[in-house]
């Protein structure tokens, strides 16, 4: 299973005088470097909305209906996918040297959750996900978590929501 890992975090906003956000549309006033989280971009989304899905009858039922999502919070998101090196730094172990700066691959959704929790703890935040048990396959990937609960009001690292991912994707 391939999971493109981006991490998100809620925190306070500070503006850089000379933004250095890779690939963000020039002049966009709602994204800036996050001064508290290296490598992350602050998205000032409070009061804005994004449309998800479609009303196109030719689309699958999973893509319907079109809905408007309104943001009541700002968030930060990784400026790029988590690399092999970044994943190894947080999770321990050696990075794949040949692919060290490429996005991590061959991890599961649950592996990404474990990374988000571990990064939160390493920086003194609470964990955003809780569970009672985790199960691994024979190659070391987490393949299931019993009683998995997402705590959206906890300040810490998490996987971005579809809406948050959509806003970031529209900027780059």
Q: Cα(131)–Cα(128) distance, rounded to whole angstroms? A: 10
pTM of structure: 0.77
Cα distances (Å, whole numbers) of residue 17 to 14, 25, 63, 67:
10, 16, 40, 36
Which pLDDT score is estimated for 7? 56
Which parts of 10-161 fold into alpha helices (H)? 84-91, 109-122
Q: What is the mean pLDDT of residues 63-67?
A: 90
What is the percent of the chain where pLDDT is above 70?
78
Position 26 pLDDT exceeds 60: no
Q: Cα(79)–Cα(42) distance, rounded to whole angstroms? A: 9
∠ Cα 54 168 128 (to 5°): 100
Q: Cα(137)–Cα(118) distance, rounded to whole angstroms? A: 20
Residue 1 CB partners (closer than 8 Å, separation 6+): 106, 107, 108, 109, 141
What are the structure tokens assigned to 24, written together? 């963000």
What are the structure tokens assigned to 48, written together? 């804005």
Which pLDDT score is estimated for 23? 44
Q: What is the mean pLDDT of residues 46-69?
A: 87
Q: Which residue has the tokens 């009001």?
A: 153
């Amino acid at each position: 299973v391939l999971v493109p890992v981006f991490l998100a975090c809620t925190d306070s906003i500070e503006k850089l005088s000379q933004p250095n956000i890779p690939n963000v549309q020039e002049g966009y006033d709602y994204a800036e470097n996050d001064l508290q989280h290296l490598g992350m971009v602050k998205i000032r989304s409070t009061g804005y909305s994004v449309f998800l899905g479609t009303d196109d009858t030719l689309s699958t039922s999973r893509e319907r209906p079109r809905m408007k999502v309104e943001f009541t919070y700002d968030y930060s998101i990784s400026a790029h996918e988590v690399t092999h090196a970044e994943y190894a730094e947080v999770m321990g172990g050696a990075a794949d040297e040949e692919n060290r700066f490429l996005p991590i691959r061959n991890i599961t959704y649950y592996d990404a959750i474990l990374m988000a929790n571990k990064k939160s703890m390493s920086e003194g935040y609470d964990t955003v996900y809780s569970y009672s048990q985790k199960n691994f396959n024979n190659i070391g990937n987490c393949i299931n978590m019993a009683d998995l609960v997402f705590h959206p009001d906890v300040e810490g690292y998490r996987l971005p929501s579809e809406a948050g991912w959509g806003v970031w994707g529209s900027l780059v």
